[in-house]
Structure 1
Amino acid sequence: MTAAESASRSAPASEPGAAVEFSGVSRHYPGGVRALDGVDLRIDRGEMLGIVGPSGSGKSTLLNLLGTLDAPTSGNVRVFGYDIGSLTDDQLSALRARSIGFVFQQFHLAPNVYAVDNVADGLLYSGVPARTRVRRALRALERVGLADRAYHRPHELSGGQKQRVAIARAVVGAPPLLLADEPTGALDTVSGEAVMRVLRELHGDGVTVVVITHDRELAADLPRQVEVRDGRVLTDSGTPKEPDTSGVRKGAGR
């Protein structure tokens, strides 16, 4: 039995529409640090939201729990029905591999490697044959508007293009949940807007997109905003609103 199959058998079912559920979640660290304190949060499948707050508010801890990179000190975190506190490391790795894509502020692209190969690396541990990995990587680059940059190396790409390559790598395996940590933090305004257009298009395709940011203006343009401070949810707009897609064109921007 594979780790994924074992996780499937042991995991209780989530509510039908839930991608992620936090129930009374706290995360404490040595020295009395309470990074999260009794958080309740539900993210439905297909939502797009921003988790916003200043440095030290608990955003990074939330990201680690959403991405199954950490477990709560108390309370329950369920990701697509799996109680992450009850899974083994192998089961958590399997869950991440098939269900979660990560995008970070720094692009983490291998230097002197073509964009298509950087994207294909997102499938290295999936058991997919090399030729199929390249084919899927080319499709993922087309999806983010970079089909014409497939055989360019990182130093030949703009900052916005590098981030779109990183997004393509995150979604090449078609995960239903995408976690974007400060995805525009290292970009100029024009490039940042292009990256956000890509994230909105992915959301339009049915991907659950969570953007972690300190930028209130960016978060305000998203369908839902969750504000965290001192390890607690301060406000939650709750009911998603339709994003402003005026002027959105696939692959627009640099």
Structure 2
Amino acid sequence: MISLTEVTKVYAGEVTALGGVSLRIARGELVGIVGPSGSGKSTMLHVLGTLDRPTSGRVHIDGYDVGALSDGKLSALRASRIGFVFQQFHLASGTPALDNVADGLLYSGFRSAERRRRAAAALERVGLGHRMDHEPHELSGGERQRVAIARAVAGDPPLLLADEPTGALDSVSGEGVMTLLRELHAAGTTVVVITHDREIAGSLPRQVRMRDGLVVEDVVTAPVGVGP
């Protein structure tokens, strides 16, 4: 699903965020990328999600050579193959959960009725079928993150990238979100969780530890593709 070969990312001022990372993530894996602030894990998320092109090296996502794609084709790849979940939810205020999820499919090519059908199915999938008409301010933090996850998976992407998905939640809500991510993985989605929380990373079957822009440890505690 993911292949990085000697990937570097250098920002203005000669700030090296990735210093030559090689990484393989197989289809169907559940992986934690863990490290402290400044370790390069956020840059790794941007590269894995094709939000940022590397300075050097090669990136392949689901068989596509990212470096060979135009910006338009990269956008199409993200829309069809990658789902994103962020710490701060990024839901539109004053907009019901159903529309927040459906709007995530605006660039998918689906007609409005199909977007809403998929949004409703995704909300059912994350246990929020009874909250579709509720706006973000009417939902708990855990529920808002579930809406964000529904939005990420409504288009059935094979790859889900979750950036600190429990960072803004209490421990009970956070565990509920992690349970949901494990369920999505068990159903066949490749899930990559970016986190600074070593406890969360340690609960996953594979942990890729980063420091100073490099992968310093890659630990597998369960066979590839085996759900929790």
TM range (shorter): over 0.9
Runs (4+) of structure 1 moved beyond 2 Å?
A: 238-244
Q: Structure 1 CA distance, aligned partners of 2:133 and 2:69?
A: 39
TM-score, normalised relative to structure 2 = 0.96
Number of equivalenced pairs: 226
How big is the shift at 1:240?
3.6
Structure 1 spans left out of the alignment, 5+ residues: 1-18, 245-254
Amino acid at match of 2:148: A
- Relative to structure 1, the CA distance from residue 204 to residue 132 in structure 2 (aligned partners, 3 Å threshold; closer, same or farther) is same
TM-score, normalised relative to structure 1 = 0.87
Structure scoring higher RCO (CA < 8 A, sep ≥ 6) equals 2
Q: Structure 2 CA distance, aligned partners of 1:195 and 1:141?
A: 14
- The answer as to whether partners of 2:32 and 2:206 remain within 8 angstroms in 1 is yes
- The answer as to whether partners of 2:205 and 2:220 remain within 8 angstroms in 1 is no
Alignment of 1:59-208 (within 5 A): 59-208=41-190
RMSD between aligned alpha carbons?
1.1
Q: Structure 2 CA distance, aligned partners of 1:239 and 1:197?
A: 18
Which of these residues, 22, 26, 37, is aligned with residue 55 of structure 1?
Answer: 37
The percent identity for this pair of structures is 66
Instruction: Flag the structure with larger Rg.
Output: 1
- Determine helix, strand or coil for the equivalent of 2:42: helix
How big is the shift at 1:32?
2.0
The C-alpha deviation readout for 1:214-244, integer Å capped at 9, x for no partner, is: 0000000001000000000000014645565
Aligned to 1:27: 9
Q: Structure 2 CA distance, aligned partners of 1:125 and 1:172?
A: 12
Structure 2 spans left out of the alignment, 5+ residues: none
Q: Structure 2 CA distance, aligned partners of 1:118 and 1:112?
A: 10
- Determine helix, strand or coil for the equivalent of 1:123: coil
- Determine helix, strand or coil for the equivalent of 1:237: strand
- The answer as to whether partners of 1:221 and 1:243 remain within 8 angstroms in 2 is no
